[in-house]
Amino acid sequence: MAVLEPSVREAMLSAVPSLRAFAISLSGNVDRADDLVQETLLRAMANIDSFQPGTNMSAWLFTILRNLFRSEYRKRRREVEDADGSYADTLTSHPEQHGRIEFEEFRKALSQLPPDQREALILVGASGFSYEEAAGICACAVGTIKSRVNRARTRLSELLAIDSADDFGPDQSTRAVLSAGGRR
Amino acid sequence: MMQTDLQTRKRRGRLGRDVQTKLGKTLQAYFDDVIKEGVPDRFKDLLQQYDERKDKGTS
Q: How many C-beta neighbours within 10 Å does residue B59 have?
A: 8
Task: Look at residue A14 in the predicted model and tell me its pLDDT.
Answer: 94
Task: Look at residue B57 in the predicted model and tell me its pLDDT.
Answer: 59
Using the beta-carbon criterion (under 8 Å), do A183 and B42 form an inter-chain contact?
A: no
Can you tell me the distance from the alpha carbon of A146 to that of A162, in angstroms, rounded to the nearest whole number? 21
A5 contacts A54 by C-beta, under 8 angstroms? no
Backbone angles phi, psi at B6, to 5 degrees: -60, -45
Of the candidates A46, A26, A49, the residue with the CA atom closest to the CA atom of residue A36:
A26
Q: How many C-beta neighbours within 10 Å does residue A177 have?
A: 11
DSSP designation for B58: -
CA distance A163 to chain B (A): 6
Q: What pLDDT, in 10s, does the model give residues A134-149?
A: 999 999 999 999 999 9
List chain A residues with pLDDT less than 70. Answer: 1-2, 76-101, 163-184
Task: Look at residue A43 in the predicted model and tell me its pLDDT.
Answer: 95
**What residues of chain B have any CB closer than 8 angstroms to a CB in chain A?**
2-3, 5-6, 9-10, 13-16, 18-24, 26-35, 37-40, 42-44, 46-47, 50-51, 54-55, 59
Task: Look at residue A87 in the predicted model and tell me its pLDDT.
Answer: 53
Task: Look at residue A61 in the predicted model and tell me its pLDDT.
Answer: 97
Task: Look at residue B21 in the predicted model and tell me its pLDDT.
Answer: 83
Interface of A with B in 34-63 (CB under 8 A): 34, 37-38, 41-42, 45
Can you tell me the distance from the alpha carbon of A178 to that of A183, in angstroms, rounded to the nearest whole number? 6
A160 contacts B26 by C-beta, under 8 angstroms? no
B34, HSE (Cβ side, Cα atoms, 13 Å): 29
Residues of A in contact with B54 (CB under 8 A): 1-4
Q: How many C-beta neighbours within 10 Å does residue A28 have?
A: 20
Task: Look at residue A164 in the predicted model and tell me its pLDDT.
Answer: 53
Q: How many C-beta neighbours within 10 Å does residue A133 have?
A: 20
Instruction: Give me the tens of pLDDT residue by residue for chain B, a chain 59 residues long.
Output: 455 555 555 545 567 888 888 888 888 888 888 899 999 999 999 998 887 877 765 54
Burial class for A8, CB neighbours closer than 10 Å (0-12, 13-18, 19+) = middle
